[in-house]
Amino acid sequence: MLNFINPGRAFKLIEKIISFINSIFFIFLLIGLTFALIISPPDYLQGDSVRIMYVHVPSAWIALASFTTIAFLSILIFIFRIKNLILISKSIAPIGLLFTSLAIITGSLWGQPTWGTWWVWDARITSMFILMIFYILFMLAHKLIREEEKATNVSSIIAIIGLINIPIIKYSVEWWNTLHQPKSINLLEGTSSIHASMLLPLMLMLLVLLLYCALIFLMKYKTEIIRIKKKNIKRI
């Protein structure tokens, strides 16, 4: 197993991918926003406030997927000590924190007209808030602990413990009496109770946000490679 992907090759490839994503991102953003804000119909009960869904739901999906990825990478890091996986997990963490925060904020904005309040200690909201804390702790471990191996061990333990929270978030609606409705989309089974006129904008916005995630990840990963290069030069 490779301990490290060649930084020089990775750097050149990252530049090409970033350039490609930049060339298509704004096109898909314009299409997604057009469908979400103009073409998609208002909900018969929630009116136009339902449009917050097009950011809220994909943000929550990305937040959960990002932390799950970090946690499994952390397990692999413990077993194989692959340096490149450390860089990948560190690069994913800011994305996860951003979209967890976005999911909480948009959820609050959506909750006010729907539930009549900005915040309740609902099981899903609370578990999402806990997820945000795990992201912060993971990033702080890398930031504050100077010894690299110790920082990796501490952050990996945080991620693995935090993995317990993921099924709690997912199944909180079924396990407890919450304000959130049961899931409307089952990604694994490919089924949905959402009308096509709303499902298409939702999927388009998911694609837009995933492209944005890719940009953030690649730029952060590139920064990590530069940091390592500088550290190696200083050692010489």
pLDDT in tens, 48-84: 889 999 999 999 999 999 999 999 999 999 998 888 8
The residue that leads in pLDDT, 161 or 81, is 161
Identity at 214, one-letter amino acid code: A
Task: In whole angstroms, give the CA distance from residue 93 to residue 86.
Answer: 11
Nearest to 151 by CA among 160, 159, 139, 142: 142
Out of 1-15, 60-74, 108-122, least confident range: 1-15
Q: What is the mean pLDDT of residues 191-204?
A: 87
Task: In whole angstroms, give the CA distance from residue 92 to residue 84.
Answer: 12
pLDDT at 233 over 60: no
Confidence of residue 1 (pLDDT cuts 50, 70, 90): very low
Prediction pTM value? 0.90
**Contact between 183 and 171 (Cβ < 8 Å):** no
Considering the chain, what percentage of its residues have pLDDT values greater than 70?
89
pLDDT at 141 over 90: yes
Quote the mean pLDDT of the chain: 88
pLDDT of residue 232: 62
Task: In whole angstroms, give the CA distance from residue 93 to residue 151.
Answer: 14
Nearest to 213 by CA among 73, 69, 66, 88: 66
pLDDT in tens, 11-24: 788 989 999 999 99
